[in-house]
Structure 1
Amino acid sequence: MRIIWVTLRTTFSVAIMCCLVYNAAVWAVAQAAAPDKANGSLIENAQGQVVGSRLIGQSFTDPGYFHGRVSSIDYDANGSGSPNYAPSNPDLLLRTQESVSAWQSENPDVPVSELPIDLVTNSGSGLDPQISPASAEAQVPRISAATGIAADKLKQMIEQHTQGRSLGLFGEPAVNVLELNLDVQAAR
């Protein structure tokens, strides 16, 4: 009986330490060190309503807004990932051709030869919220025509939202599509 009592006490103590104390400590450190990231890097609109996260992309189809990368999972964060098609896979070729055709119909003023590759390819997670600055600039003629915002003003917005390489070395410059589109919405 003594061994059972010791085992139950030990199990209960370890459960309290691992399930409550440890998680509370990690939460407290995260809230103190990086509260924005710990709370999901949420983005609010001018009215203070949460409209998204800096970490997860959204689908924009309105011609007056910047469009993000292709997402095979429709930016559903419940199951991130994208198909691992080989370059020779016919499904990848078909999806890419469909993306290029959609680009041509939405952006007739920009030749396909100037279409940045990240606008017709998936990211590894299918959730990327950023596009390259070149991808944003390629969409300027369409957005300018749809909104009446001058092309120079749109390019200035892109420049303001361009994030450089991490630590000046890693990754590529990128533009968060949601943050950029909130500026476009405010300028309309």
Structure 2
Amino acid sequence: MKQHILPAIKLTFFSILLLVVAYTGAIWGIAQAATNRGKGETIIVNGKIAGYDKVGQRFDKDHYFWGRPSAVSYNAAGSGGSNIGPSNPDYLSEVQARVDTFQAHHAGVSLDKIPSELVTASASGLDPHISPEAAYLQAKRIAARRGLNEAVIMQLISQHTEKPFMGFLGTYKINVLKLNIALDEINKQQ
């Protein structure tokens, strides 16, 4: 029995040193070389943190672009989806409520024109992006609320559209936080 216990104890301590100390230290060291020392990419406006580049945020006022709904209330500490199936009655009523809210704020927009990302949460619950189509669909509402020409809003959307990686990997997308910050800047200039 002694011949089995001593090697098991040695292996346990070796694993702890390798997987807890060495691995954690290596990841921490790599993070120190990253932007913002591994603390995430913050967006600062007027000396204050406006938000985080890779984390979705709640925008529900009519004078802002709305982002993707979150299954975790935009809490990055609790990232994750709802794990409810697409045929679940609770899920379907939640999506229908989002559709109804969207249509109430966007007169004349039919159900088939609403992009799915505006009424369904992402798998992480923290997606900071929407499609250009979702942004263009909101332009009329925002222009009316802010007293801006709709063409100005359309140009802003175009300027903030990110192309797919290497031109073909992924989709065209827009970071909602960055777009809303740019929208506020336009209003300050007028």
Q: TM-score range by the shorter chain?
A: 0.7 to 0.9
Gaps of 5+ in 2: 1-8
Residue of structure 2 equivalent to 1:4: none
Gaps of 5+ in 1: 1-6
Moved more, 35-44 or 58-67: 35-44
Residue of structure 2 equivalent to 1:40: 40
Aligned positions, number? 178
Give the AA of the match of 2:140.
P
User: What RMSD, in angstroms, separates the aligned Cα atoms of the two structures?
Assistant: 2.6
Indicate how the Cα distance of structure 1 residues 28 and 83 shifts in structure 2: closer, same or farther if over 3 A, else same. closer
Residue pair 1:109, 1:141 contacting (<8 A) in 2 also: no
Residue of structure 1 equivalent to 2:178: 179
Cα distance in 2 between the residues matched to 1:117 and 1:19: 42
Matched, 1:149 2:155: no
Matched, 1:66 2:65: yes
Shift in Å at residue 182 of structure 1?
0.3
User: TM-score w.r.t. structure 1 length?
Assistant: 0.82
Cα distance in 2 between the residues matched to 1:120 and 1:104: 11
User: TM-score w.r.t. structure 2 length?
Assistant: 0.81
Indicate how the Cα distance of structure 1 residues 144 and 30 shifts in structure 2: closer, same or farther if over 3 A, else same. same
Cα distance in 1 between the residues matched to 2:37 and 2:124: 19
Indicate how the Cα distance of structure 1 residues 21 and 86 shifts in structure 2: closer, same or farther if over 3 A, else same. closer
After TM superposition, list the pairs within 5 Å mapping 1:16-27 onto structure 2: 23=24, 26-27=27-28
Give the AA of the match of 1:43.
I
Residue of structure 2 equivalent to 1:132: 131
Query: SS at the partner of 1:127?
Result: coil
Shift in Å at residue 29 of structure 1?
3.5
